[in-house]
Structure 1
Amino acid sequence: MKLHEYQAKGVFADAGLPVPDSTLASTPDEVVAAADDIGYPVAIKAQVQVGGRGKAGGIELVDDAEEARAAAERIIGMDLKGLHVDRVLVEEAVDFVNELYVGVTMDRNEGKPVAMVSTQGGVNIEEVAAETPEAIAREHVDPAFGLQPYQARRAVYDAGVDREVAGDVASVLTTLYDLWAEKDATEIEVNPVMITSDGEVVCADAVMNIDDDALFRHPDLADMEDEAAEDDLEAKANEYGFDYVRLSGNVGIIGNGAGLVMTTLDLVDYYGGAPANFLDIGGGAKAERVANALDMVFADENVDSVVFNIFGGITRGDEVAKGINEALESFDEIPKKVVVRLAGTNAAEGMEILNTDLVTVESTLEDAVQRAVEYSEEEQ
C-alpha cells in the first residue's frame, strides 16, 4: 500500500520528524483558507502518487491569496500523468540552501535492509543510482540489531553532508529506519530533506509504502487504505481481487502469475514498448475474471494495445478464451487492439474458441509482445 504524501507526513510527524506545517484541501476556497492560516509563501502540492509532480505542473509556490486561488484552480481537477488530482496539500514553504536524499529500502541482492543518504536530493534518485551510484552512501543493516548510531553517522559523512547538520540528518535517517521496521514498510524516503540557511533540517517530502500482507498488524495504517488508493483503477483492482500496479506506458499487460507478468513487462521494454500496467489474474481464472481484467485495462486511457499472456496450469486455456470472447463481444467497437498468446492446459481448445475477428493470436510470447508494441506505436 502506497501512502499519499499527506498520510506519510502524518506518520512522520507522529514519530517526531521535522515536517512543514500543512493542511489537506480539495477546493480553491479551502486552499486559500489554509494558506491564510499557515502564512505565505506556501507550496500547493497535488496529492497523486507519481514522481516529477513539479515538472508536470502539480506543485506551485504562491505568495498571496490571489496566487493561491489561481494555482488551486489549475491543479485541482488536472490530469497529472494519467491521474486525476482531487486534493492538494497546502504546505508552509521552506527557504532552503541545500537538498538531500534520505531513505531506507530492502536490498534484495544482499538480503538486508539498506539505509541511504545522498547530497543529490530533489531529483529522481533512480537516475542518480543509475548514472552516479557513487553519489549515494549506503549502509546495510542487520535487522536483528537495527540501524546503529555509528552506521547512521557513517552514511551521512560518506555522503558528504555538511558537518553542521550531519547530526540532525543522521537522526532523520535513524527515525526513518525505525519506522521502516516498526510499520513493516517496503520503502520509506524523504526527497528532499531541505537544509535552511539557519541550519534547520526539514522533511519536505514523504514516501512510505507498506507491505499489504502486514496491514493486519497496523490497523491505523489499514484505515488509510481506501484513501491511499490512487484512482478508480486501483479501487477496481481491489474490488476484483487483482494484483495490479499502474505504470506510465501504453501497452496493457495481463497474465496469470507474477513471474509471467514480469517477464512480459521485460519483453515489452526489450522490444521498445512501454508497459502500462502489471496485472496478474492469478491461477485458475474463470471466464468472468478474465473479462474483468480486460475491463480494467480498457478503462486505462493511456493504454493503446493489450497483450494477454496465459500459460495454463491450473488456469485452463478454454476458460480464458471464453472470458476474452465474452468481454470483447460486449463492445460495439473494440476499444484497444488485443494480442493473445495461450500455452499449456487446454491451449489448443482455447485457440479454437477464440474469436479471431476480435483479437490477434500469436503462437509465441515474443511474437505476441512485438505485435502489441507495433499496435501501440500505430496509435501514437
Structure 2
Amino acid sequence: MNIHEYQGKSILKSFGVAIQEGIVAETPEQAVDAAKELKVKYNSDWVVVKAQIHAGGRGKGGGVKLAKNLDEVKEKASNILGMHLITPQTSATGKLVSKVLITQDVYYPGASPTKEFYMSVLLDRSKGRNTIIYSTEGGMDIEHVAEHTPEKIWKEEIDPRVGLQAFQARKIAFNLGLSGNAFKEMVKFVTSLYKAYESIDASLFEINPVLKTSDDKIIAVDSKVSFDDNGLFRHPDYEKMRDITEEDPIDVEARNAELNYVKLDGNVGCMVNGAGLAMATMDIIKLSGGEPANFLDVGGTANAERVEKAFRIILKDKNVKAILVNIFGGIVRCDRVAQGIVDAYKNMGTIHVPIIVRLQGTNAELAKKLIDESGLKVYSAIEFHEAADLVNKLLKAN
C-alpha cells in the first residue's frame, strides 16, 4: 500500500523525524488559507505548492511550484488541482490531482549553503537484511546517479539481530560529508527514520531530498512510503490512509473480493488456487504460445460466488482472448469447483472468450464430466499438457 507525501511526513514526524511542514488543501481557497497560516508560523510569504499523487518526479511534470505571494498560491494551486499530472512514473494519461500540499519554503538564505541528499530504507531480499541507501546526490533521479556515478551511492546493511547501531548512523553522516551540528542532526535523523521504517512494517521509506538547511538542520523535504500489505492488520490506523482513487479500480475490486490479483500484459487470463500453481500455470501459458494476462489466486474456497467474481475481474481486461482455470482439488473437491464454474458461467450470461478448465485432485473425473455435460463453451482437461494444447489451439482459432 502506498500513501501520499503528507501522510508519510506525518508518520515520520510522529517518530521524531524533522520534516518540511505543510498543510493539505483540496481547493485554491484552502491553499490560500494554508499559506496564510504558514506565514504566521514561519514569517515568510514564500511557500511551495506540491501535487499529491502516488508517483515520483512530480516536479518534472509541473506538479511542484514555488509561490511568492498569496495571489501566486491561488494561481498555482488552481493550475495544479484537477490536472492530469504526467511524470516518468505514471502512464501516458497521468494521474488526476485532487489535493495539494502547501509547504514552508525551506530554501531560505542564511549563514551557510543548503545541501540535498538522497536516503531510503528497504529490504535487500538477496541478503535478508534491511538496508539504508544514501547519496550526496539528492533531489535528482537516483536511477540516473546509480547508472552514471555509482560511486556516489552508499549502502548500510542492518544486522537483524542487533538492529541499527550508533556507529552506523555516524558512518552515514560522515560519508555524506557533514560536520558539527549538521553531523549530529543527521545521526538523529537516520536513527529516527530507521525506527519509523521498522515500527510500521514498511516495505520502503524513500526521502528525496533530505535537506541540510542553511542553519544546519536536517529535514525530510519529501516522503515516499510503501507498506507491506501483509503487516497492515497490525496497523489499522495506517490502513485508513489508503487512497483508492490512486489505485487501479480492478485491483481495488479484487482486494475487496479477497482475491490475490496482479494484472499483466498478456492475452490469456488465468485463475488458480495457490501461488506455486499460479507460477506454473503462467509458465505453461507461455510454452503454449500465449502470454499470461494476470496472476489470480482464488485460494482454497473456489465456490460459485468466488469464481464468478474472479471471472468478472479477468474479463475486464480487453486483451484477454482465453481463460485457463487450473485448480488442484486438495482442500476443496474438484466437483464442487466445477459446479461453481458452471453456475458462475450461467449467472454471467454469454462469455465471449473460450474457457479451459483443468481440475486435478479429489473427484477430478467427476468434475470433468460436469464440465463436459454442461453444454457451455467450456473445455475441460485433466493433464497439464492437455490444458496447454487447448490454449494453443484456441488462441490460433481466435
Q: Bin the TM-score by the shorter chain.
A: 0.7 to 0.9
Contact kept, 8 Å, 1:32 with 1:69, in 2: the verdict is: no
Counterpart of 1:255 in structure 2 is 272
Q: Which amino acid aligns with 1:89?
A: V
Counterpart of 2:50 in structure 1 is 44
Counterpart of 1:181 in structure 2 is 198
Q: How far, CA to CA, are the matches of 2:31 and 2:212 in structure 1?
A: 26
Alignment deviations for residues 216-257 of structure 1 (CA, whole Å, 9 cap, x no partner)? 54xxx412324415345454334322334x567566654322
Counterpart of 1:70 in structure 2 is 79
Q: Which has the larger radius of gyration?
A: 2
Counterpart of 1:239 in structure 2 is 256
Is the aligned partner of 1:6 residue 2:16?
no
- CA spacing shift, 1:229–1:270, aligned 2, 3 Å: farther
Alignment deviations for residues 34-89 of structure 1 (CA, whole Å, 9 cap, x no partner)? 345445442332333x445555x48232531122212213149xxx6489646423
CA-based RMSD of the aligned residues comes to 4.6
The alpha-carbon deviation at position 298 of structure 1 amounts to 4.0
TM alignment of 1:228-307, pairs within 5 A = 228-230=242-244, 231=247, 232-244=249-261, 249=265, 254-262=271-279, 278-299=295-316
Q: Which amino acid aligns with 1:223?
A: D
Counterpart of 2:25 in structure 1 is 25
Counterpart of 2:130 in structure 1 is 113
Counterpart of 2:162 in structure 1 is 145
Alignment deviations for residues 172-230 of structure 1 (CA, whole Å, 9 cap, x no partner)? 2221211122223333232332445665533122233344554454xxx4123244153
Contact kept, 8 Å, 2:120 with 2:133, in 1: the verdict is: yes
Q: Which amino acid aligns with 1:43?
A: V
Contact kept, 8 Å, 1:100 with 1:192, in 2: the verdict is: yes
Unaligned runs of at least 5 residues, structure 1: none
Counterpart of 1:225 in structure 2 is 239
Q: Which amino acid aligns with 1:310?
A: N
Q: How far, CA to CA, are the matches of 1:309 and 1:250 in structure 2?
A: 16
Q: How far, CA to CA, are the matches of 1:358 and 1:85 in structure 2?
A: 41
Match of 2:326 among 301, 305, 310: 310
Q: How far, CA to CA, are the matches of 1:191 and 1:302 in structure 2?
A: 37
The alpha-carbon deviation at position 10 of structure 1 amounts to 0.7
Is the aligned partner of 1:102 residue 2:108?
no
The alpha-carbon deviation at position 11 of structure 1 amounts to 0.8
Counterpart of 1:190 in structure 2 is 207
Q: How far, CA to CA, are the matches of 1:265 and 1:124 in structure 2?
A: 34
The normalised TM-score by structure 1 is 0.72
Counterpart of 2:177 in structure 1 is 162
Contact kept, 8 Å, 2:49 with 2:76, in 1: the verdict is: no
The alpha-carbon deviation at position 27 of structure 1 amounts to 3.8
The alpha-carbon deviation at position 331 of structure 1 amounts to 5.0
State the SS of the aligned residue for 1:12.
Answer: helix
Is the aligned partner of 1:342 residue 2:358?
yes
Alignment deviations for residues 5-36 of structure 1 (CA, whole Å, 9 cap, x no partner)? 32221111122222222223334443444345
State the SS of the aligned residue for 1:259.
Answer: helix
- CA spacing shift, 1:310–1:351, aligned 2, 3 Å: same
The alpha-carbon deviation at position 155 of structure 1 amounts to 3.7
Alignment deviations for residues 253-302 of structure 1 (CA, whole Å, 9 cap, x no partner)? 54322334456678889999997765322124222212112323445x68
Q: How far, CA to CA, are the matches of 1:228 and 1:270 in structure 2?
A: 38
Contact kept, 8 Å, 1:268 with 1:275, in 2: the verdict is: yes
Counterpart of 2:34 in structure 1 is 34
Q: How far, CA to CA, are the matches of 2:390 and 2:224 in structure 1?
A: 33
Q: Which amino acid aligns with 2:302?
A: A
Q: How far, CA to CA, are the matches of 2:49 and 2:24 in structure 1?
A: 12
Q: Which amino acid aligns with 1:19?
A: I
Count residues in correspondence. 362
Contact kept, 8 Å, 1:247 with 1:275, in 2: the verdict is: no
The alpha-carbon deviation at position 322 of structure 1 amounts to 4.5
- CA spacing shift, 1:318–1:364, aligned 2, 3 Å: farther
- CA spacing shift, 1:310–1:304, aligned 2, 3 Å: closer
The normalised TM-score by structure 2 is 0.69
Q: Which amino acid aligns with 1:59?
A: G
Q: How far, CA to CA, are the matches of 1:25 and 1:154 in structure 2?
A: 39
Q: Percent identity?
A: 31
Counterpart of 1:61 in structure 2 is 65
The alpha-carbon deviation at position 100 of structure 1 amounts to 3.0
